[in-house]
Structure 1
């Protein structure tokens, strides 16, 4: 099968990246690969579809002997090095390659060999150092002289009662190691004093919580004729939707060229949709945790932490899995099996009406296509679910679960919740940024902000009941950093003035935010400078192929200002242009006792809905569902239970 320009990298292509760089003499003995990613061709080249498009890959290469970092672009078509650029990691505003899995083991080895650390653990009564869990974490950027320009990880510590014990129940409070991973030494060991290590365990296996309940009866989901979707390579058709799927080590799942068939024509909606960054800032100002603000994509390569999904647990029903091919630190490919799950779900009633005059009733049930993956970054687990609906709606839902990050303190701890005796979970946020490269009936799009406004009493509103939508054009990038306003019912519509429906109205899609707070950190804080994207719910930019990540290409140890603040300073005009929406959404987590020892799923997300895109309800032609699909309905009766 011919490779499409938007297909993910294959194992052979990953090998070609490493071999090309080696042939060019660019790989020193200490060279490692924090990232190898597909370098997608410009949108115009793909959309034109004229002839073969050069397949390319981007590699980040770290020389572990001296910390030099390089950014390379390789032509996979020609097996040729196209560019080789040293990343200025030692110059303001700095920035480092993302953390590699091997560095976790390196930090553990460095720390456990340090006599000062061993003495600090002895003071806390920890004798078996093999049971100490070392937790290397990205340090942020605070301008500390012993960290600036160096590749640093900071580590907190947890202990286990035995090898299978959950370490998060037993944090070692007040001890932090600042580790230079290139020089392989602790550059600073901070010890703020001994705090008792919480003793109660936090395990949640069957042996720890007791036998499972027996009240649940089987729930079977069957599709005896198979699913309704068709998969050809990485191209998917389902109902009226057509799109492509890819996966990379940084973003994870990416959807491409989402189009909806209307009257025999495939109409473009979104060219590319992904989660492009996320930040998890903590509210604890103590010496132990003031610096914690994880950028799970830019610092930890979220896609590389992908789970292999299991039928009946992670996904239920008639499943199609996609594997992901990724690169390890040696630049060699490996396969993450069942990385992406795709299946159909019943979603209740889509539309319904009972005619009170004739008694006639019509009901159509909604079915949605689910494309998802799960990833585990340290203690937290994240599921990312894209839903496509039969009425043209697109929905993104992030599912947050896993184990809360913990510390040791008393019940009077001011910046977190006591969740077990002596154990606290600090307040924090999970803020995601979706990158939505829009293409509503083509690339010439505009964005309007709509608020619902009540009218004042007067001749036009004598009884005070009137309200209207008020639309404001977002004309330039300087106007395009926006906040949600649930009190005004605010939403943003991407429209195409060159394509109108039968009533002469420009076709469009609206982004409806599920209102949640943006970044709570002070505007002058280090994290606010580094995660400026999280200070607004919406940003709009002109499309540029180099503008991929809202906090910049290298947020690890970056001082801030990269990404959206830098791009929007150009103040480019936005009307009738090729546009990208950047939408911040998420969860502010004030932990509960019910979140321990493992957290029930918390949800966050948004929807994209057609507004005047279709001339009428595009799901009118759905067939009625008969009672054969419902357990307690007579055969042949219609079924409308939600």
Structure 2
């Protein structure tokens, strides 16, 4: 729903707000008013993206320290006009109601994303295309029988696609309006289309697979079967309310302070994450977000080899953020934050309850029963959970940030929804299964694929002078210093420059990456630091010579490190649609800046390599991918010693009384 009516006649600057605050509906109206006054704006001009142009970090920190005038409040705006060919990247000032920067998007490094309205146009044109309708007819189908899905096309250097915004289209049969089409792929048939002109460049009809007949309507009670009996209600209550406090987007919980933000491209963003230690507010992470994600498919078939989707850069997945529901998506004492974004007309749109925040119990924090003193101590752990969900076509993604009492930060991606399907070719002449997809229902295939998330972690561990060290566990051979062969140690290797920063995880060595201050130490003289613990999993599986490897270079390693640059925000570059590759990380590290004692940004890839199973159909149970940032010599001792014992009743926590939780 619209928050406000368009305000194209308004020329007044908006009221001062916090420099990192998410754009409001009032500000989006003001942005539209600024843009509408530019000479090249027409009735057909569309807004492909509107987001906060955050102040340069040094400027923000200087303002925060001095309390001087607010930095100029700016927004970044991508404009697209199919009638004139306008494709432009602008920065506008809300403080002065003016355009401060403008550059044409010429397509050499990528193009603006395809709009929802343009996808509808392609589907209409395709339904009138003779070659398409003939191909459907040979399968006893008409355009009315199928839904067509225009998909990001990538870039394969085809001459007839040069300089164009391209989509590639696949079809799925629908037996009735409530029928989920993913169960019925019309495989072997695809179409390539020019979005700007509406021209159908190519119809590929390579094989007439049988359309799988069995339905996949997971929401049909007959498909679900009788409800599972015996599950009793679980009620989570906090009779005294939640432990956090909220002022706008600023949150305080336990020793943590942070700001919560929403961006339509990145979704949930965390700003200014700090931990209060002995009365001192110590910075840990200046900004954390999922800057990009890619879903590359591994089926080399002639009408599927091109499948790889950049859900943030190509699809702007924040547009599809869910409104979360108490008791279904979030349980407990909940605080919701709304999301606001500009639609294609530049009108603010509200997503109620876009972000959910709550506390949850997390088992034992620490515990010991001492055999010599008789001391018995136990504390309960809890964490602050900040999350949002977005739906991108067939898949649903939840992104959860967790803050723990001991200073740990964790990020977890949750994946569910429906598999992207194909026809299953069946066994070959030797009885071998198809090598690139699983059969999940009769005749229904699910191609192998990956979900690779690119986290941008702008860390500031006790300030902006940091170094990243790669730490490995090291086995030692028998020697005069290790005569019994039991010794092992660790190696600590500084990552000294950008071009050598590409690193992969190694579970056999317990490899982690330490982000250490080059200025601050703890009471024992150790550099204060945090350690990035990756989940050991494959990086991008595509060959290094492939198109997707060039376009998703960030996903070829688990880690890259760069010196902070405000222009380097997205792991695959600003303009991902039809990009030829080389943008993002390859460009960012090309200068080979030194990285010791600098203001650093970590680019961490984590995710899943998915070989679908029958249990993933017709809807996939939740799967998970995550990483954590844990304090390492950041404190002088265990920072949770002062966590009070739990308030418990008879027979809880040890037997006869609450005192059993805290007795010495």
The equivalent residue for 1:32 is 46
The equivalent residue for 2:121 is 106
The answer (yes or no) to whether the contact 2:450–2:607 under 8 Å persists in 1 is yes
Q: Quick check: 1:81 aligned with 2:66?
A: no
> Quick one: structure 1 residues 109 and 234, their matched pair in 2 at CA, closer, same or farther if it must change by over 3 Å?
same
Partner Cα separation in structure 2 for residue 330 and residue 634 of structure 1: 66
The equivalent residue for 1:401 is 416
Q: Quick check: 1:520 aligned with 2:541?
A: yes
Structure 2 stretches lacking a partner, 5+ long: 1-14, 428-433
Partner Cα separation in structure 1 for residue 135 and residue 62 of structure 2: 63
The equivalent residue for 1:10 is 24
**Aligned with 1:15: secondary structure?**
helix
**Aligned with 2:272: secondary structure?**
strand
The equivalent residue for 1:172 is 186
Q: Quick check: 1:68 aligned with 2:86?
A: yes
The equivalent residue for 1:437 is 458
The equivalent residue for 2:391 is 376
Q: 1:219 aligns with which of 225, 228, 234?
A: 234
Partner Cα separation in structure 2 for residue 615 and residue 346 of structure 1: 26
Partner Cα separation in structure 2 for residue 629 and residue 118 of structure 1: 73
Which whole-Å deviations, capped at 9, do the CAs of 1:451-471 have from their partners, x for residues lacking one?
110122111111111111110
> Quick one: structure 1 residues 111 and 463, their matched pair in 2 at CA, closer, same or farther if it must change by over 3 Å?
same
The equivalent residue for 2:5 is none
Partner Cα separation in structure 1 for residue 607 and residue 531 of structure 2: 19
Q: CA deviation at 1:26?
A: 2.9
The answer (yes or no) to whether the contact 1:15–1:332 under 8 Å persists in 2 is yes
Q: Quick check: 1:255 aligned with 2:270?
A: yes
The equivalent residue for 1:540 is 561
The equivalent residue for 2:612 is 591
Q: CA deviation at 1:130?
A: 3.0
Structure 1 stretches lacking a partner, 5+ long: none
Structure-2-length-normalised TM-score: 0.94
Q: 1:487 aligns with which of 508, 515, 521?
A: 508
The equivalent residue for 1:358 is 373
Q: 1:498 aligns with which of 519, 524, 527?
A: 519
The answer (yes or no) to whether the contact 2:650–2:658 under 8 Å persists in 1 is no
The answer (yes or no) to whether the contact 1:221–1:317 under 8 Å persists in 2 is yes
Q: CA deviation at 1:637?
A: 5.8
Q: CA deviation at 1:513?
A: 0.4
**Structure 1 runs of 4+ off > 3 angstroms?**
628-635, 637-640
Number of aligned residues:
636
The equivalent residue for 1:420 is 441
Which whole-Å deviations, capped at 9, do the CAs of 1:591-641 have from their partners, x for residues lacking one?
00010001111110100000110000101111111324998976636569x
> After the TM superposition, which residues 333-352 of structure 1 pair with which residues of structure 2 at under 5 Å, given as runs?
333-352=348-367
Q: 2:635 aligns with which of 598, 602, 614?
A: 614
Aligned-residue CA RMSD in angstroms? 1.5
Q: 1:51 aligns with which of 69, 72, 77?
A: 69
Structure-1-length-normalised TM-score: 0.97
The equivalent residue for 2:341 is 326
**Aligned with 1:557: secondary structure?**
coil
The answer (yes or no) to whether the contact 2:114–2:195 under 8 Å persists in 1 is no
Q: 1:385 aligns with which of 396, 400, 411?
A: 400
Which whole-Å deviations, capped at 9, do the CAs of 1:295-320 have from their partners, x for residues lacking one?
00000002111111111111111110
The answer (yes or no) to whether the contact 1:627–1:634 under 8 Å persists in 2 is no
Q: CA deviation at 1:212?
A: 1.6
Partner Cα separation in structure 1 for residue 539 and residue 267 of structure 2: 23
Partner Cα separation in structure 2 for residue 37 and residue 2 of structure 1: 17
The answer (yes or no) to whether the contact 2:376–2:660 under 8 Å persists in 1 is no
**Aligned with 1:96: secondary structure?**
coil
The equivalent residue for 1:463 is 484
> Quick one: structure 1 residues 27 and 576, their matched pair in 2 at CA, closer, same or farther if it must change by over 3 Å?
same
The answer (yes or no) to whether the contact 2:498–2:589 under 8 Å persists in 1 is yes
Q: CA deviation at 1:30?
A: 1.9
Partner Cα separation in structure 2 for residue 478 and residue 557 of structure 1: 26
Q: CA deviation at 1:59?
A: 0.4
Moved more, 576-585 or 626-635: 626-635
Which whole-Å deviations, capped at 9, do the CAs of 1:116-148 have from their partners, x for residues lacking one?
211211111124x33411111000000112211
The equivalent residue for 2:212 is 198
Moved more, 518-527 or 10-19: 10-19
Partner Cα separation in structure 2 for residue 556 and residue 564 of structure 1: 16
